Amino acid sequence: NAGVTQTPKFQVLKTGQSMTLQCAQDMNHNSMYWYRQDPGMGLRLIYYSASEGTTDKGEVPNGYNVSRLNKREFSLRLESAAPSQTSVYFCASSLRYEQYFGPGTRLTVT
Amino acid sequence: DQQVKQNSPSLSVQEGRISILNCDYTNSMFDYFLWYKKYPAEGPTFLISISSIKDKNEDGRFTVFLNKSAKHLSLHIVPSQPGDSAVYFCAARPETSGSRLTFGEGTQLTVNP
């Protein structure tokens, strides 16, 4: 089992460019999440999907969109990147309350 | 508002001694609490959890204590080892939120040999 995988590991974008962060899990979990981690701010929820076919906004959704493609995959899209979106992005999945995280994507927007 | 707070950004202890990491919360609807550990360049990994109906849960060297009246959670690591050096996040689940968690800011633990 690979657990939760994320691609890419690193990305540099120019302001205004778009990109999609990919996430997949092989644990047959119903729920999936996208977080961003910034220094001194912990993990903040961007969007989550309680089950296939549903998505909901989290704490910091502005500037992002998500797609729950199927039970395994949950992608995060930045339509027009801004320097404020420079961060480390983590995807997670859960069956119940314990969430399992991917290795993260370090994104820099210049 | 920050509903889960870890007031100490960092903690340094000697190998073999006890490490105590603290977490305070404000939302009385939280009914499940978790601790995660994070090494650099890796995702957080689940460490230990506790339900609000308990006041203590133990797993090997790790014990979590919950004081609901004080809205305070702590993680004890005994004995501390250099491999425990990491960032520790506490997290809490409001009982009406499904599986969503609210995380604290994290505490960097350094265990010195």
Residue indicated by tokens 């004995």 = B79
- Residue pairs between chains A and B whose CB atoms are closer than 8 Å: 55
B1 touches chain A (CB under 8 A): no
Per-residue confidence band for B98, with pLDDT thresholds at 50, 70 and 90: confident
The tens-digit pLDDT sequence of chain A (110 residues) is: 789 999 999 999 999 999 999 999 999 999 999 999 998 888 999 999 999 989 999 999 999 999 998 999 999 999 999 999 999 999 999 988 899 999 999 999 99
Q: Which amino acid is at B76?
A: H
| pLDDT reading at B71 higher than 90 | yes
Helices (H) then strands (E): counts for chain A: 0, 11
Contact, A92 vs A73, CB < 8 A? no
Looking at residue B18, what is its pLDDT?
98
Are A98 and B106 a contacting pair at CB < 8 A? no
Contact, A73 vs A14, CB < 8 A? no
Q: What is the 3-state secondary structure (H, E, C) of A10-35?
A: EEEECCCCCEEEEEEECCCCCEEEEE
CB count in 10 Å sphere of residue A83? 10
A98 touches chain B (CB under 8 A): yes
CB count in 10 Å sphere of residue B16? 11
CB count in 10 Å sphere of residue B55? 11
Collapse the DSSP code of B84 into the 3-class scheme (helix H, G, I; strand E, B; otherwise coil) and give the result. Answer: helix
